[in-house]
Structure 1
Amino acid sequence: MTVILEHMKGAIFDLDGVIVDTAKYHFLAWRSLAGELGFPFTEADNERLKGVSRMRSLDILLETGGLSFGEAEKLAMAEKKNRLYVEYISQLDESELLPGVSAYLTWLRTRGVAIALGSASKNAGFILDKLNIAGLFDTVVDGNKVLRAKPDPEVFLTACRELGLGPQDCVVFEDAEAGVAAGKAAGMYVVGIGRPELLKAADLVVSGLHEL
């Protein structure tokens, strides 16, 4: 595909929209919370939540509804949303892997490429276990390990360090604009997963890992 991909030493993957589509379950959980708060939350509204942390997502949701709450109340809401989400993803299995994921990760393994997950999700390890692919990752950097959400590069730089590699040796695989920006800010080559018109800052855009 490119010389960079042929010679990369580390591959860092986002989770939602790259490995598995759990975005639909996030949406259902956020929509349920919004309904309890008395306002509608649409799929178009949900686009703003992609690639950002749970608390920032809650702030965006509350902005959509024109509401504001104190920190304690917001923490309780975020926990409630997460409980709803975990109920949904508890049913996940390998059949929900996006096309080409297992084959591409296995191929990278055979070539000696180190593999990391770099996700805002605090449920990343649980999800990888449900999908039966946790053993393909050398390290998991998620919302439990980092403080700053994408587009801050912290998650990818942390993954890079945990792999023992420099940013120039790693390639980021991302489906969200904020994630692409984070990868570029980290000084890494970025493969966008999705639509080119939405991921203009990526170095390469493909529709999914099956293309690679």
Structure 2
Amino acid sequence: MMLKAVVFDLDGVITDTAHLHFLAWRAVAQEIGIAIDETFNEELKGISRMDSLMRILRHGGKEKAFDHPQRLALASKKNALYVRSLASLTHESLLPGIPEVLAEIRAANVRTGLASVSLNASGILRALGIQQAFDFCADASRIACSKPDPEIFLTACAGLNVRPQEAIGIEDAAAGVEAINAAGMQSVGIGPGLDHAGLQLRSTRELSWKCLTDFWASRTVLIRN
């Protein structure tokens, strides 16, 4: 079976906006009397804005202290702070190896997709100057269920007109790897603690077209056997 598409997560794979998310969430949490640190912020990787807010409220014992309109207002405030911080992103904010692997995939005539639960995905790609590198972008506006549900990766594959079995997904979060696996794609995990990924790499520095094709070939042999 040929590899026809590679689908990337955004935060932590293409660029690292985790710290920007943390600063915005910390500011909102402080306003309502909840303290969070960067260790706790790791739990928010790969999940939607509202799911992140609910985890913060549970963390602070205030899950029932705010009604739905108030929760929406808190999430909107966080997003406004985060969007303002995106002005700091440039092409230099791409993680190591990402410009090269995107170019290599394009040169191999394999399709590239994005699967991000961020509603700001398109703006981030524009700020990074790589919006033309992707054939299709699936973001939170296109789905009902967040990761670890596979919907966003299935949506990306549908937008790329490939079957999930013909694609690799790349993630840095446990929920994202779980979503890729559930979609029926081959999974690549970037970073520690992702041993449920088909291939685990320490950083994007190890990510290359050769790495992906070698992994694909090895998985294809396993499936045949």
TM-score by length of 1: 0.95
Which of 55, 73, 78 is 1:76 aligned to?
Answer: 73
1:176 aligns with 2:170: no
Alignment of 1:77-96 (within 5 A): 77-96=74-93
Q: In the comparison of the two structures, how many residue pairs are matched?
A: 205
Question: 3-state DSSP class of the match of 2:142?
Answer: coil
Residue in 1 that maps onto 2:139:
142
1:100-111 equivalent positions in 2, closer than 5 A: 100-111=97-108
Instruction: Report the counterpart of residue 48 of structure 1 in structure 2.
Output: 43
**SS of residue matched to 1:144:** helix
Map Cα deviations across residues 149-175 of structure 1 (whole Å, 9 max, x no partner): 000000000000110000110000000
Once the two structures are TM-superposed, the CA of residue 209 in structure 1 deviates from its matched residue by 3.1
Distance apart, 1:207 and its partner CA: 2.1
> In the alignment, which residue of structure 2 is the partner of 1:32?
27
Q: Give 1:165's match in structure 2, choosing from 162, 165, 179.
A: 162
Q: Give ranges in structure 1 of 5+ residues lacking alignment.
A: none
| AA of the residue aligned to 1:76 | A
Q: Counterpart of 1:210? A: 205
| In 2: Cα distance, 1:31 partner to 1:91 partner | 18
Q: TM-score, normalised by structure 2?
A: 0.89
**One-letter identity of the residue aligned with 1:128:** L
Identity of aligned residues (%): 47
Separation (CA, whole Å) in 2 of partners of 1:98 and 1:138? 20
RMSD of equivalent CA atoms: 1.0
Structure exhibiting the larger radius of gyration computed from Cα positions: 2
Are residue 66 (structure 1) and residue 61 (structure 2) matched? yes
- Structure 2 residues not aligned, in runs of 5+: 209-225
Alpha-carbon deviation of 1:55? Answer: 0.3
Counterpart pick for 1:17 among 9, 12, 31: 12
Q: CA deviation at 1:147?
A: 1.4
